Structure 1
Amino acid sequence: MSLIAAMPPPELMPLIPATPSTRIAAQARLRLPLAAAVLSLSLMLAACGGGGASSDETGAAARVPVTSEAEAVRLLDQATFGATPIEVQRVRDLGASAWIDEQMAKPATSSRTHWEMLDRQNKAADPTAVSRTEVYHSFWHNAVSAPDQLRQRVAYALSQIMVVSMVDSGVNDQPRGVTSYYDMLGQHAFGNYRQLLQDVSLHPVMGIYLSHLRNQKEDLAKGRVPDENFAREVMQLFSIGLVELDLDGSASAGGPRETYGADDISGLAKVFTGWSWHCNGDTSDSCFHGWNESAKAYPDRSIASMRSYAKYHSASEKAFLGSTVAGGSDGDASLKVALDRLAAHPNVGPFIGRQLIQRLVTSHPSPAYVERVAKVFNNNGSGVRGDLKAVVKAVLLDTEARAPSAAQRDSFGKLREPVLRLSKVLRAFGATSTSSHWLIGNTDDPGTSLGQTPLRSPSVFNFYRPGYVPPNTLAAARSLTVPEMQITHETSVAGYANFMRSVVQNNGVGETPAGASTRDVQLDLSAARAAAHKPDELVALMNSRLFGGAMPAALADQIQAAVESITIPLLTSTNMVAWEAANSNRVRLALYLSVVSPEFIVQK
């Protein structure tokens, strides 16, 4: 049965409801174009019984030349928010390594700068405005239009490892701080992991989110002990993980051994006492607690690194992970010992390296791939540990990432998460913001939207866990990790179809600005409309923009047949409207069927 059998053009397709009462109808309508997409990665990863090539097929930091359109698009899928025709040609001209070097040299595009522009405009109209949604506008501004695409993509990856979330009410009240946090991740994307870990630990938004801002020393008389939240998560999620690892990311020989215990958490929690707002020289109790108006009036307190307040810092001896901080040590000295210990732990290379591979390249990297990246983390070739510039290059230039043969393996690839599906479409078709504000807001709802909003994960564990294995699937039978499947279910499948149908029908996405008649972020489909009268050329354009020339022949044939089913009347002086509508319907149908196909949803 055809993938697109009997599917009408988008303007004839009613929105597909995702309520329980209509689930059966929704499933039936989506069965061909999308149900396969839900299962395809699980099936493909399971088919070969493994997550990657054997070690004799691969090598460290490959110098595989990028010559074809498909190879260039594959790199851009991994390293940016989506390929554009100009960037594809740039990769082909420079080659992968030189293109990466060029990207790494580009100055960082600031999310906070865009947010502050929007906030000024909001406050001009309403001085009490709190510009929360503008955080998402700033994200999409950078994701779609920033020239430093590699930095932006790595920042997004890091935001899913070292998570803060605006779902938290305290974080939600600090939108400027959130954009500052995201910028900080971008600034360190090619820096050193040790400094990144420090700046993450001391950012006030992280302090709010994991409750070590205003964390006080123990007081036995009052029954008070330090908050242990950040101490736990900085080990479990940001550095060393739960079990001791070999260099290839597998549990150390002899069975899983925990990396830390309750005593380590308690000892480390004392390090993170006494840290609070940096109030430009004001070290009073009121500033620590954020009580007085002078503290609240300090405009940069949500973006300035927290400072240590000796009065509230534990003077006790602090023991954790085999290290000891002497009693009486101040907050800065205690922090240095703690972060040095965490950054030097042998788990960090494979633990962080594997997650960067997952976020950029493939869900279930081979042990050999992880080991090669971990070795670069441990030593960049010049004796430097934690050089993220070298690590990112190792991830992207590895043979498994670059060799065309690796992309052909059924075991390789990842489910393209919803945010990256949308960004790829927007960049492929030169989207622009009519307001210059990029008014794409909350896209949380899985029934009508993406089921995912940047910087709004449900918890500190991100939208999905890196070790997630979808239960009762072929992937589970093979013990393969497919993290993105954790947010893929019946409702989200129907919701994505509805959302993309709306994008296609409206030629864009986002809010409709005041006084405008179209969605703010508009696709440029002029080239597609010019090709609409020639179905083969229209399909070829979709193939080039969305698949890098690698659209399977069967899918191309099916889309072309669907396009040809829409007849374009012979243009006369009286039927211009009908003629334009038929051309537009062909473009919409070709685009819609492309972006809901399993081949688009799975990144290879």
Structure 2
Amino acid sequence: MFFKNLCFLKKAIVILLSQIIATYAYAVDLIDNGSVQKAVNYTYFPYTVEVTVLNSNTPVETFECQITKRSHNRAAQWPYRIGQCVNTNSTEVVVGQLQTDGTIVPIKSKTDNVLWAASSDYSLSFERIDTPLVLDFHNASRLLERGTFGPTLTDINATVGLTPEQWVEAQLAISPSYHLEEYLRIQEIRASENGSSQEHRNYRSNAWWGIALNSEDQLRQRVAFALSQLVVVSQNDAGLSGDDRAKGLAIYYDILVEHAFGNYKDLIRDVTYSPAMGRFLTMAGNLPPDPENNQYPDENYARELLQLFSLGEWKVNYKGVIRKDKETQQPIPAYTEEDVLELARLFTGWDEDNGLLSPMVVTASNHDSEPKRILGRSFPGNETAKEELERLLDILVSRRETAVFVSTHLIKQLVTSNPDKHYVERVARTFNQTQGDLAAVVTAILTDPQPYESNPITVSKAREPIITMTALYRAFGSQMGDSYPHHRDTSLGYGYDAQYSPEGHRFSQGPLSAPSVFNFFPANFAPSGPLEDNGLIGPEFALYTSAEIPHLSNLVFRKLKDDNTLTGDVAGLADNRLFLDYSTFTGLWTTDDKANFLALLADTLFDGSLSPQLEQRLGDVYDDMPKGNHDNMYKVFWMAAMSPEFQIQE
């Protein structure tokens, strides 16, 4: 039976795609009309409303109603709200139809005394009564999937009973954990052991994994990782690949940590000053134009700042819908080639001052101080490079396109690959209204109602391989061997290159190691098949190639099989490996308590519940394993970790 179930693993990623589509429910657009949008659209289901019957805008009667769900008449394309309305005289179940003026008129009722409201002389006005969402176990776990590197049972139980706002507010107050500080701590320990204070990229890897798995400021670190896939710098670049560049990359990552809850303008300013970015996008040493000597400014950073770090390619509305020219019906570009050329002139005169360890500086004589025109705005000339940069950043952060582009990226990284357009709008407007306050943006993302709905399309995304690993490590309370840290890579038990490079036969994803400025995967990648056929995207699926799926599966298999402790004690265990703690499962396995074993596994990895299909599969594997040997537990865990239900964050 176990080997029969192994066939399931080979098809896991295909099932990931088909299972999402199989459970696809038509996503009803919520009311998009003035005050009615504010009244209904921002709430959780169920929610309470006051329904006032109006006659020529004069209140006739007011009901207090519980709206329990929404449904859809596909033929008529009318959104509905279904709920129970109560007044002093009767109890009715009312189905309301959305009118062109934004009102909702009852069209069905169990009683007759509401039918008069359906006449043309009357309409209904909805006003929300706020009821905060109090997190149960399921939603607490879902919130932690989005806002951390993976839920732990301790954290889930501590979050139950809070509102999303309370959890986010507590995370915003935690002091940041800095990667350079941890890098230097590991370097110092290593130097005391062998007398060498060498630089090493393993130290940066160790620092990242230690902070990702154990830090208290989980939300900040999770957002920093999301930003590292937006303002991309990679150690795979020739100028950043050596061990002696690792400290500089730790400094760059700390820019992302520092500004994860700060202002986007400040983030882009420090990214621009960064020598790591200066090398990666070849802006360092940029000189003004000198046509006689065939010298022209490098356009690389100028182009990517506009296309990948702020505006995106096209002009959009707040919902992220591309705007088109009225005459040609072609998408309107967010910037022009002339903008890139002019912006490249702005980024002249910058160069390194202390290698990768200090911000870049400007040599005034190398800066093009002539007038410029960028994004329709005039730069008068005779300004310093820093003054021109400040003027530019004000323009970029105020643009609607930047608000939508950055907000959409963070939503896709944290919550869902296919967000509802109204969700995008709410978050983007927060960005715009706060002029790029990322703390407010992240709060808007995680406290919005959409992440807590049950539509599998608008609340789900595939886990990246590295997030699969962090989630498993955190779920099973992983610990290093007792003499950590070691100078070797201590995160997955492989050497650095074996762990992160395609040649290493593991998985090709690691912090600041994207193959290009376009990140690990295209932002709008849609795998061929049911996702593409339904107009949906799944960017992370670009990593799940026929070569990478076995690598990840083998990595998970080895970790679960070889690197674990049945007692929670890591004394005497290797100092270059993370060990997963199976101690809470050991007694249940020994006593053959199948029901509680699977229930604990559901709480640990699946937000508190297993689908009937997965429960059957895991139960079959469980039944096939002799209970006298604890080593067999990993086989159940492996099946669970490679299942569609775990590989899809929902």
TM-score when scaled to structure 1? Answer: 0.84
Provide the C-alpha distance between the structure 1 equivalents of 2:440 and 2:7, rounded to a whole number of angstroms: 43
Alignment of 1:577-588 (within 5 A): 579=628, 582-585=629-632, 587-588=633-634
Q: Does the 8 A contact of 1:239 with 1:351 survive in 2? A: yes
1:6 corresponds in structure 2 to 2
- Structure 1 distance, partners of 2:553, 2:544, is 13
Report the CA distance between 1:602 and its aligned residue. 0.4
**1:574 — aligned with what?**
none
Distance 1:171 1:363 in 2: 31
8 A contact 1:46–1:474 mirrored in 2: no
Instruction: Name the CA distance, whole Å, in 2 between partners of 1:411 and 1:193.
Output: 26
What letter matches 2:397 in structure 1? A
* Distance in 2 (alpha carbons) for counterparts of 1:208 and 1:105: 34
**In the alignment, which of 493, 502, 507 is matched to residue 558 of structure 2?**
502
1:464 is aligned, of 511, 521, 526, to 521
**Cα shift at 1:445:** 4.4
Which blocks of at least 5 consecutive residues in structure 1 are unaligned? Answer: 9-28, 280-300, 569-578
Cα offset, 1:216, TM superposition: 1.5
Of 384, 391, 397, the residue aligned with 2:441 is: 391
Q: Secondary structure at the match of 1:412?
A: coil
Partner of 2:176: 108
* Selected match of 2:403 from 338, 349, 371: 349
The answer to whether the 8 A contact 2:480-2:575 is kept is no
Q: Does 1:543 align with 2:602?
A: yes
Distance 1:419 1:453 in 2: 7
Match of 2:67 in 1: none
Q: Which residue in the other structure is 1:290 paired with? A: none
**Aligned ranges 1:416-427 → 2 under 5 Å:** 416-427=463-474
Where 1:55 maps in the other structure, the secondary structure is coil
Instruction: Provide the rounded CA distance (Å) in 1 between the counterparts of 2:549 and 2:574.
Output: 29
Partners in 2 of 1:457 and 1:376 — Cα distance? 29
- SS class of match (2:428): helix
In structure 2, C-alpha distance between the alignment counterparts of 1:42 and 1:562, rounded to whole Å? 23
Describe the superposition over 1:370-398 as per-residue Cα deviations: whole angstroms up to 9, x where unpaired: 0111111111xxxx311111110111111
Higher helix share: 1
How many pairs does the alignment contain?
534
Aligned to 2:478: 431
Separation of aligned partners in 1, 2:132 and 2:548: 37
Which one of the candidate residues 265, 275, 278 is aligned to 2:353?
278
1:310-329 equivalence runs, <5 A:
310-329=364-383
Is 1:448–1:498's contact at 8 Å kept on the other side of the alignment?
no
- Structure 2, unmatched stretches of 5+, are 32-36, 45-130
Percent sequence identity over aligned pairs: 30
What is the alpha-carbon distance in structure 1 between the residues aligned to residue 604 and residue 19 of structure 2? 26
Shift of the 305–46 alpha-carbon distance from structure 1 to 2, 3 Å rule, reads farther
| 2:88 aligned partner | none
Q: Is the 8 A contact 1:144 1:426 kept in 2?
A: yes
5, 10, 13: which one pairs with 1:37? 13
Q: Which amino acid aligns with 2:600?
A: L
Question: 2:170, 2:321 → 1: CA distance?
Answer: 34
Deviations 1:129-158 (A, max 9, x none): 331122211111111000000000000000
Partner residue in 1 for 2:133: 65
**C-alpha contact (below 8 Å) 1:35/1:493 kept by paired residues:** no
Q: Which has the larger radius of gyration?
A: 2
Correspondence for 1:552: 611
User: Which residue in 1 is equivalent to 2:512?
Assistant: 455
- Say which of 426, 432, 436 aligns to 1:378: 432
CA distance in 1, matches of 2:7, 2:515: 28
Q: Deviations over 1:329-377 (max 9, x none)?
A: 2211111122222112220111111111000000011111101111111
Deviation sequence 1:257-310 (CA, Å, 0-9, x none): 11112111110011111112235xxxxxxxxxxxxxxxxxxxxx5243222110
CA distance in 2, matches of 1:508, 1:171: 35
1:82: Cα distance to partner? 0.5
Task: Tell me which residue corresponds to 2:625.
Answer: 566
Alignment match of 1:194 (pick from 265, 278, 286):
265
Give, in whole Å, the separation in 1 of the partners of 2:13 and 2:297. 47
Correspondences of 1:20-59 after superposition (within 5 Å): 31-41=7-17, 43-45=19-21, 48=24, 52-56=27-31, 59=41
- State the alpha-carbon separation in 1 of the partners of residues 158 and 530 from structure 2: 39
Question: Quick one: distance in 1 between partners of 2:369 and 2:387?
Answer: 12
Separation of aligned partners in 1, 2:636 and 2:463: 20
Contact 1:559 1:593 in 2 (8 A): yes
Asked if the contact 1:61–1:394 (Cα under 8 Å) also holds between the matched residues in 2, the reply is no
What is the DSSP-based 3-state SS (H/G/I as helix, E as strand, rest coil) of the residue aligned with 2:11?
A: helix
**Alpha-carbon distance in structure 1 between the residues aligned to 2:174 and 2:219:** 9
* Residue pair 1:45, 1:412 contacting (<8 A) in 2 also: no
CA distance in 2, matches of 1:240, 1:508: 46
1:595 aligns with 2:628: no
Whole-angstrom CA distance in 1 between matches of 2:630 and 2:382: 76
The amino acid across from 2:141 in the alignment is V
| Deviations, residues 4-44 of structure 1 (Å, cap 9, x unaligned) | x4338xxxxxxxxxxxxxxxxxxxx9641242334423651
Q: CA RMSD in A?
A: 2.4
Write the letter of the residue equivalent to 1:506. D
**2:316 corresponds to which letter in structure 1?**
L
Q: Which residue of 1 aligns with 2:294?
A: 223
Cα separation, 2, equivalents of 1:46 and 1:305: 51
1:399 is matched by which residue type in structure 2?
P
Matched, 1:213 2:272: no
Do the aligned residues in 1 keep the contact of 2:490 with 2:575 (CA within 8 Å)? Answer: no
Over 3 Å counting, the alpha-carbon distance change for 1:458 and 1:321 in structure 2 is: same
Whole-angstrom CA distance in 2 between matches of 1:368 and 1:46: 24
Superimposed CA distance per residue, residues 306-341 of structure 1 (whole angstroms, 9 cap, x where no aligned partner): 221102111222221112222332211111122222
Q: Distance in 1 between matches of 2:564 and 2:282?
A: 39
Q: How far apart in 2 are the matches of 1:547 and 1:268?
A: 48
Moved more, 31-40 or 532-541: 31-40
| Residue 249 (structure 2) aligns with | 178
Is residue 67–residue 95 contact of structure 1 (8 Å, CA) maintained in 2? yes
Q: What is the 5 A alignment of 1:293-308?
A: 301-308=355-362
Q: Which amino acid is 1:274 matched to?
A: G
Which residue does 2:86 correspond to in 1? none
- When residues 116 and 53 of structure 1 are mapped into structure 2, their CA distance, relative to the original with a 3 A threshold, is farther
**TM-score, normalised relative to structure 2:** 0.78
**d(CA) in 2 for partners of 1:590, 1:49:** 31
Please give the per-residue CA displacement for 1:558-598, whole angstroms capped at 9, x wherever unaligned.
21221121223xxxxxxxxxx3xx1221x211211110111
The aligned counterpart of 1:250 is 321
Deviation at 1:64, TM superposition (A): 4.8
Q: Secondary structure at the match of 1:523?
A: strand
Q: Which is strand-richer, 1 or 2? A: 2
3-state SS in 2 of match to 1:195: helix
Distance 1:234 1:77 in 2: 30
Q: Residues 135 and 162 of structure 2 are in contact (CA less than 8 Å); yes or no, is this contact kept in structure 1?
A: no
Q: Per-residue displacement from partner, 1:177-214 (whole Å, max 9, x unpaired)?
A: 11111111111111111111111111111111111112
Mapping for residues 491-530 of structure 1, pairs under 5 Å = 491-508=547-564, 517=574, 520-530=577-587
Aligned equivalents of 2:369 and 2:457: distance in 1?
A: 56
Residue deviations 1:70-114 (CA, integer Å, cap 9, x gap): 111100000000111121122114322111100010000111111
C-alpha displacement at 1:409, in angstroms?
3.2
User: Is 1:475 paired with 2:550?
Assistant: no
Structure possessing the higher relative contact order (Cα contacts under 8 Å, 6 or more residues apart): 1
Amino acid at match of 1:302: L
| SS in structure 2 at match of 1:490 | coil
Find the residue that maps to 2:378 and give its secondary structure.
strand
The answer to whether 1:263 aligns with 2:338 is yes
The equivalent residue for 1:401 is: 451
Separation in 2, partners of 1:450, 1:339: 37
Report if the CA contact (8 A) 2:135-2:164 is conserved. Answer: no
